[in-house]
Amino acid sequence: MPAIELSNVTKRYGDVTAVRDLDLTVSEGEVFGFLGPNGAGKSTTINMLLDFVRPTSGTVRVLGHDAQRESVTVRQRTGVLPEGFDVYNRLTGRKHIEFALRSKDVDVDPDEMLARVGLSDAADRKAGGYSKGMRQRLALGMALVGDPDLLILDEPSSGLDPAGAKEMRDIVRREADRGATVFFSSHVLGQVESVCDRVGIMREGELIAEDSIESLREAAGGDETLVLTVDSASQDDLDAVRALDGVSAATTDGGTVTVSCDSGAKTKVIAALEDQGVTVNDFETQSASLEDLFLSYTEDEERTEVSA
């Protein structure tokens, strides 16, 4: 049974289509990264999982339950770290956890939860004095109360420094190891890359890619960028390069030629330019990073074409 199953889901707000024809399945025990730039439809999708927002059309099932008709059961079995969560300044960390325990009707020692998110030493301090990272960990501690089967984390690393973001990822990994499904939204690939099994990329309400990090890596590794320093290069010279097998794009600013190609085509590019009478003074290669690939999916159409 999938943990999350959206079938043909559309959500419109007046003229704005926040989510369009979304089909998405997340398996039990999976750590799924839900990515996309601001306004892509991530929060709307999360809100539909929790029945805070109702789809205009389509069906949403969570942990085998209908998200609308059985929302109470879904929420009981789900821990949520909402986007922009803020603490109650005058309450201690422990009081926050106690509050979450009461609302989920769970009877465990709050100190155990605080230890799980690394806040034992700060348990009796008022949360108003917590750093951003401590606040996020406290929010996560509240979400983890009752060992939920599904954890929904909306931008959990936002505002965290690299060490804080890593701690967050370590906690997520531990939760996945105990069997929880984790649905982790972010607009930065780097934050989910080391923790997620699979990612879905949203843009303008549509799911434009869905893949394992491994396959994304392969796709990113497929093309390299070759930057050649030349005496001069004309459009004819570029056309000769573009005609080669394995070359997907070539541009020039006169003094340099930039070519996207698979690694086997590099020597052919240099030979083709020299055959055209171009003097190649120097060259370097840059591999496309996963981040570049992600940007190529999420930025505007023009860039997608150039770098895809």
Q: What is the CA radius of gyration of the chain?
A: 24
Only one residue has tokens 């909306």, namely 154
Whose CA is closest to 113, among 145, 82, 135, 81?
Answer: 145
Contact flag: residue 40 with ligand ATP (CB under 6 A): yes
Q: Contact at 8 Å (CB) between 135 and 70? A: no
CB closer to ligand ATP, 83 vs 292: 83
> DSSP letter string over 90-137?
TSBHHHHHHHHHHHHT--S-HHHHHHHTT-GGGTTSBGGG--HHHHHH
Contact 46, 154 (CB under 8 A): yes
Per CB under 6 A, the list member of 5, 42, 94, 149 interacting with ligand ATP is 42
DSSP designation for 233: -
Stretch that binds ligand ATP, among 35-43, 63-71, 125-133, 266-274 (CB under 6 A): 35-43
Q: What angle do CA 220, 222, 226 make, to 5 degrees?
A: 95
- The footprint of ligand ATP on residues 184-223 (CB under 6 A) is 187
Maximum alpha-carbon separation in the chain: 79
Window 169 to 188, contacts with ligand ATP (CB under 6 A): 187
Interface pattern 9-28 for ligand ATP (x via CB under 6 A): ----x--x-x----------
Q: Which is nearer to ligand ATP, 44 or 260 (CB)?
A: 44
Residue closer to ligand ATP, measured from CB, 13 or 88: 13
Q: According to CB under 6 A, which residues from 229 to 258 bind ligand ATP?
A: none
Give 75 or 187: the residue with its C-beta nearer to ligand ATP: 187
In the complex, the smallest distance separating the C-beta of residue 107 from ligand ATP, rounded to whole angstroms, is: 35
Binding of residue 152 to ligand ATP (CB under 6 A)? no
Applying CB under 6 A, the residues found at the interface with ligand ATP are 13, 16, 18, 36, 38-44, 83, 187
